[in-house]
Structure 1
Amino acid sequence: MKNLKIYFTLLLCAICSFGLVQAKDYNASYFGIKSNGTTLNTTSIQRAIDFISENGGGTLKFYVGRYLTGTIHMKSNVTIHLEEGAVLLGSTNINDYNVGTPNNALIYGKGVNNVGITGKGVIDGQGKEVAYNLMDYIHKGIIKDPLDYDRPRSNRPKAIYLRECNQVTVKHVTVKNAADWVQTYDQCEDVLIDSITVDSKVFWNNDGIDIVDCKNLKLLNSYIDASDDAICLKSHDASKMNENIEIRNCVARSSANGIKFGTVSAGGYKNIRIINNRVYDTFRSAFTIATPDGGKVENVLVDSLYAYNTGNAIYLRIGARWNKGRQGSIDGVVMQNIYIEVPADKPDAGYAFEGPVEDNPRNISPASIIGLKGQPVKNVVLKNVEIVYPGGSNPNYAFRGTSAKELDSIPEMEAAYPEFSQFKELPAWAFYLRHVEGVTFENVKFTAKDKEYRPAVVMDDVKNAELKNVQYIEPNKKGKKQLVLYKSTLKK
């Protein structure tokens, strides 16, 4: 009898425990949330999130259907789970969002912990429609918002914005058609973003993902196709920085940059690992680090990057734009096992919002590492790197020579927006370096498919450069001098 009582007691405990576990999954329909695509569910979804958070946390599950909503606020210990076939649909009415607040978004969270967005469903911001709806209100004077090139500056909603959140998980979802940056993780810690798809090319400034001053963040196994920078690390706070960031096994397509640090770079970047990624059809650089605002960049590894049909290969740049007296720096960047192809034609042709060709130089730009006078980029290694260029630059079309006068005439442009195209014509076809201290090229191959009037590599004010097994492949070069050193020294 005693053993029987123990058995029933344990069975009851098991049943109760199972009930508690099950109670943490909540069907959206329990809260009157409609899946017809026309009923506005903002209030119902918010009440569901609030209820789940207040009752110990859990998962709000959406099944097949279209769930129309405006801004919803994430709360601690809540996961939104979108089953395959479920679409969280952003309202096209701008008044259904938090207009007038910083970083307006469809899914918004600040200072919350243990939150998630998961499942094989879709978040569709309907960004084109909501942006034009917003512009209509602006033109009527109902909403005040500066227009940059007839684009609203401040009130377009992002798809996801999380600020100062810890223990964040975003997995498997598809995020599409944002009106602004697609997703931003701002000063968040312990973040896992895994196996997501971004397809957002319906309006301007559609950065695929912005990682801002985060710590311990992983972006893994994801596909990102955006009309602005695909994968972008930023630093908005001079007292913060992106630290311990891993970007691995991702594919990026963009009508701006593939993988980029900046442009806003107030604090900086430390311990960044970018491993086994693909970039293609990218108007600007496959990989770029820009620190014009006083931010510090240190201990960066780029390993196994493969880029095809990209407007520029690599661009590293120190500037002095909004630095407020602080000096930015780049010190300790290793780029290895890299293959990049640069085409003769416009690589993002066919995008709804193509990059502005009028800003580009007339001849194809080389990869570049450019610091400032007295403020060099330091300790950069390129190892096992191959970059293929179309060649065929035309000196009669646009010319930049390598005489002392011509090299000195290249402006510093420290306050300009940092892009590979900012200097217009550059004097090298493969790689241009200026104001650099400590650079190593090891097992590096540069190929021009057609004859070039320019040398392959130009170094201007470069100290302690080391070249090991560097190849220059160019048709009909006939003993042409491919390396030009100006105010520069090689390691002996």
Structure 2
Amino acid sequence: MVRKLRYILILIMGSAFCQAKEYNIIAFGAIGDGITINTKSIQKAIDKAAGDGGGIVIVPAGKFVTGSIVLKYGIELHLKKNAILLGSISPTDYIRIDRWKALIMADRTSNISITGKGIIDGRGDLLALHIDSLFYAGKIDSHNYYLKERRPWAELRPQVLEFNRCNNLKVIDVTIKNSACWVQTYEKCKNIIIKNITVDSDSYWNNDGIDIVDCQNVQITNCFINSSDDGICIKSEDFSLSQICDSIYISDCTIRSSASAIKFGTSLVSGARNVIIKNIKIFDTFRSAIAIEATQGGYIENVLVENIVAKNTGNAIFLRIGKVRGAKKAGPLRNVIIRNVKVTIPFEKPDLEYEIRGPEIEEFHNIHPSSITGNPGVYVENVLLENIKIIHPGRGNKAFANLPLYRIKDVPDLETSYPEFSMFGELPAWGFYVRHVKGLTFRNIELEIKKPDYRPAMVFDDVHDLNIDLLKVKGDNKAEPIFYKDTTRVTTKNVKVLLKK
């Protein structure tokens, strides 16, 4: 599967745009003074280039304020060094083509790109707060407002980039900042290259760094992402079930996230398959380094995750099957390989330095373990975890929160609840909690705990065809690191416990 996917990606990503005529936006009346609204001038340049059969629209050095602009067939939007596109802070300057409003968008076209060393700044905090004020002025209905969170509905807040049903896309070298909502979404697109970009968006809620939705043949490489929501998110929202995420390659990226660094779901209606994720550095991330969630009726299969280093990250690995948002079925989630991973988990919240921090967890709990959980009768299947090291802070105290092993049945299944590593509340393990899984191999696993914890390292409940080969538990104060309940066909060898002295 891995070799085949690499070959496909090499073939489809090899094409390059031909040399084309340049169209400087200044020649069409744009003024880079940081004040003038240049939407019409920039769109004129794009329309002229498109009418001539395609070309390069140049944004020179300067600060150019704009509302929504629409890219067309054959257009490359090129931002020169010291060029800054500033999103207008007036909501009326944004349009909607499909579902979302956005600063830069395209719909049902092909051969488009955004390149250069310049900056696209959505000024999302100012824009979102302007939209927020409209609710209190009586101009936004309460249906479109999250009353509990006190913020406008996500779809009222423009993204920076939105591409829908487009083919042959490139986003290369640019810096994208400060969105009012998701930073950039690619939906039902094919043949995407996202390379060498910087995403810096800790400005408002729902600032996912990159959202890939029902896209095929995607390559994301050498990117730096700092986002106040999920870093890179693979989703499926096609209720017709005609589109899925397929053939996605993510590598050599650095991610900081106030949610999960790399996540499948939670929107996973149709499916995702043939995904490679490798050589990822993660830091200061609130939730999971890797979250793979088949929770809205869709399937996930054939996933390889390897060479991951995560520091100061709230959770290492979270795999979950569920039935959220009215889904009639759960999963499947199968054929997943996760290997060569090292995660250091702090005792304190890892995202304290964020402007937009992850939400507080309401229930009392000790530090959560990694978890792999299906539903009753619906199993996560065929998972290999190999060469994994997790450094856990420990300090699990039963006087603070207590779920002893004799009450393991009290862990709720929560099939229809929103999936997060913290969703079950207190769990009876500190390293791994595994339930409703078939065909699971742990190979060369090291679980290190800094201070004693009342819980065992690993708990397996309703797990079948379990193979544990070379497990080292370091720093614990209990000689027996594993607890089994209703678990069959188990093979263990080379289990070593280095007790805390």
TM-score range, shorter-chain basis?
A: over 0.9
Cα contact 2:464–2:487 (8 A) shared by 1: yes
1:475 Cα offset (Å): 4.3
CA deviations on 1:294-319 (whole Å, 9 max, x unpaired) are 11010000010111101111100000
1:99 Cα offset (Å): 6.1
1:57-456 to structure 2, matched below 5 A, reads 57-98=54-95, 102-144=99-141, 146-148=144-146, 149-153=149-153, 154-238=155-239, 239=241, 240-322=243-325, 324-359=327-362, 361-403=364-406, 406-456=407-457
Matches of 2:23 and 2:144, distance apart in 1: 42
CA deviations on 1:412-434 (whole Å, 9 max, x unpaired) are 10010000111000000100000
- TM-score, with structure 1 as normaliser: 0.93
Whichever residue aligns with residue 293 of structure 1, its letter is: Q
Whichever residue aligns with residue 67 of structure 1, its letter is: F
Give the paired residue count: 468
Matches of 1:461 and 1:439, distance apart in 2: 12
Matches of 2:194 and 2:443, distance apart in 1: 34
**1:53 partner SS:** helix
Matches of 1:118 and 1:222, distance apart in 2: 14
2:26 is matched with which residue?
29
1:143 Cα offset (Å): 3.9
**2:136 partner SS:** helix
Cα contact 2:304–2:336 (8 A) shared by 1: yes
1:189 Cα offset (Å): 0.3
Cα contact 1:287–1:314 (8 A) shared by 2: yes
Q: Select the structure of larger CA radius of gyration.
A: 1
Matches of 1:491 and 1:137, distance apart in 2: 60
CA deviations on 1:30-71 (whole Å, 9 max, x unpaired) are 211111111111111111111111111011011110111000
1:469-480 to structure 2, matched below 5 A, reads 469-477=470-478, 480=479
Whichever residue aligns with residue 291 of structure 2, its letter is: T
1:322 Cα offset (Å): 3.0
Identity %: 42
CA deviations on 1:329-386 (whole Å, 9 max, x unpaired) are 1110000111011011110002111112233652000000000011000000001111
Q: Tell me, which stretches of 5 or more residues in structure 1 are unaligned?
A: 1-20
1:323 Cα offset (Å): 5.2
Matches of 2:334 and 2:362, distance apart in 1: 29
Whichever residue aligns with residue 356 of structure 1, its letter is: P
Pairwise CA RMSD: 1.4
Cα contact 2:364–2:400 (8 A) shared by 1: no
CA deviations on 1:200-254 (whole Å, 9 max, x unpaired) are 0111111111010110001100000001111111110141211000110001101
**2:451 partner SS:** coil
Matches of 1:201 and 1:465, distance apart in 2: 41
**1:467 partner SS:** strand
**2:405 partner SS:** coil
Cα contact 2:235–2:266 (8 A) shared by 1: yes
Cα contact 2:308–2:342 (8 A) shared by 1: yes
**2:72 partner SS:** coil
1:484 is matched with which residue?
483
Whichever residue aligns with residue 145 of structure 2, its letter is: L
1:5 is matched with which residue?
none
Matches of 2:439 and 2:19, distance apart in 1: 59
Matches of 2:228 and 2:172, distance apart in 1: 22
**1:191 partner SS:** strand
Matches of 1:312 and 1:357, distance apart in 2: 15
Task: Check 1:382–1:188 CA distance in 2 against 1; reply closer, same or farther (3 A cut).
Answer: same
Alignment partner for residue 44 of structure 1, among 25, 41, 65?
41
1:407 Cα offset (Å): 1.3
Cα contact 2:96–2:102 (8 A) shared by 1: no
CA deviations on 1:152-172 (whole Å, 9 max, x unpaired) are 112100000000000000000
CA deviations on 1:376-422 (whole Å, 9 max, x unpaired) are 0000000111111011111111011112xx11111110010000111
